[in-house]
Structure 1
Amino acid sequence: MEEDDVARRLRDGDPDALAEAYQRWGTLVHSLAARSLGDHHEAEDVTQQVFVSAWQGRHTLRPEAGSVAGWLVGITRHRIADAHERRASQRRRADMVAALPQEHEATHEASIVDQVVLADAMRGLGEPRGTIIRLAVMEGRTHDEISRRLDLPLGTVKSHARRGLLALRHQLREVTDVAS
């Protein structure tokens, strides 16, 4: 009869009934959580979540359908499942984060090295060859546009472009041969 009284008072919103439920079944809830999760502190968190959920969902308590302890065990099972899902989600995120930096760092470092090597090779081309290669390759300008922009004959632009690309290829091959 006492359990029915706790159930009725809890369902009616009596905070003392929640305190009594915690006193009576808190150890049961904590033990179930600790066994499943294997972590005392996480079990304490789950126990707190169970009783918060019990208070917020007290309108779902049906003493005629089962005991308060059974109702709390049901809530506990859901909170334990939530905790396991959080753990799995954290592991997945940690695994993804652990995989990204190595991959990203290597790609980023290679990209920076490539940019430095290319910039150095471009400086070695001199002018106007370096400018012609920049306009043609990096900005996608046509030979006619470069000729008009730099006020150079079209044949001179084409010649500088061809010789500049050959010089870049030669310099970049030397760098990759040394790096290998």
Structure 2
Amino acid sequence: MGIQCSIQWFNAIDKIGIDAYYHLQTSNDNATVDEIVIAWQQFVPLLDNLAKQWNKPIIFVEIGYTSAYNTHAHPDHMELLAYDDCSVWALCVFLEEQANSYEAAYITFWNLEWFDGMFWWLWRTDPWDGHSSDSGFSPVGKPAENVMTKWYSQKTNKSF
């Protein structure tokens, strides 16, 4: 099982950049951290093989989750959120889902030798962005920000 990558210019780069909007399927729309970590496991060997094939570290150049139900399964589909109707996909503000998705990504990748960091979507310079009533990608003022603080407070030489 692996990604066979035939891109000829990979030997000219320092790191392999990946947009990490993987659809992490769980049996529960309100998934726990452990369930999301398990869902990540189908992708870890693929990424591991890619890193080994090219002898390059992998960095997530973009990864993110909304503060909404089932965001781990549809991280790249903000348009599923109906701002005026919370009955659509039951995607109203759900801060725990975003925090669980962040925590699971850190648990899954933080200590892997070939993994070199991640850039989270979306952190704006607007101080009013995010916060507990926002269902969007911003972790600002939400439990996901606390998850980031916990992990980035650890000493590491990764590009986090």
TM-score, normalized by length of structure 2?
0.21
Query: Which structure's residues are more often helix, by fraction?
Result: 1
Higher relative contact order (CA 8 A, sep 6+): 2
Structure with higher Rg: it is 1
Query: Which structure's residues are more often strand, by fraction?
Result: 2
TM-score, normalized by length of structure 1?
0.19
